[in-house]
């Protein structure tokens, strides 16, 4: 089972390391994510804001889209960390759109979402817990 092979510390560390690359000049709320894909590779992403607010991109979608652009199609886990002015003081859950994007590339019963304050202080949820009764590719089969 995935839970036995997942190394939350490596994913959390990758996300926290990427946090300094976040571009959030408007909200000042910096977020980073690290996605573990089926190949074993980790892809990071950060939130990128834009003066035209809807043109911005969340860290989680940035990481997943980066992985997909590299040919990855199986999301195993994602770690998310962030906070105001880049200071992590609380858990930072993904927004609804990011949860739906994650759903496209995983089995929501197995895929793990790690919300981290640090490599030692984190919570793990399945995507199914965060997005119950989700709509996905299997609904269109």
Max CA pair span of the chain: 43
Distance CA 31, CA 22 (A): 6
72 a catalytic residue: no
Distance CA 20, CA 30 (A): 8
Q: Which helix (H) or strand (E) holds 66?
A: helix 59-69
Whether residue 88 contacts residue 79, with contact meaning beta carbons closer than 8 Å, is answered with no
Catalytic position from the list 49, 60, 104, 133:
60
Determine phi and psi for 12, rounding to 5 degrees: -60, -45
Q: Enumerate the active-site residues.
A: 60
């Amino acid at each position: 089972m995935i839970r036995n092979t997942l190394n939350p510390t490596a994913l959390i560390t990758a996300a926290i390391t990427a946090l300094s690359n976040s571009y959030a000049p408007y909200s000042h709320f910096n977020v980073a994510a690290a996605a573990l894909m089926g190949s074993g590779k980790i892809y990071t992403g950060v939130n990128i804001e834009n003066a035209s607010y809807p043109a911005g991109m969340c860290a989680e979608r940035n990481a997943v889209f980066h992985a997909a652009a590299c040919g990855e199609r199986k999301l195993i886990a994602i770690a998310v960390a962030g906070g105001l002015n880049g200071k992590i003081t609380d858990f930072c859950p993904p927004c609804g759109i990011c949860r739906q994007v994650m759903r496209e590339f995983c089995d929501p019963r197995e895929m793990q979402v790690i919300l981290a304050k640090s490599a030692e202080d984190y919570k793990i949820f399945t995507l199914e817990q965060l997005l119950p009764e989700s709509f996905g590719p299997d609904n269109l089969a």
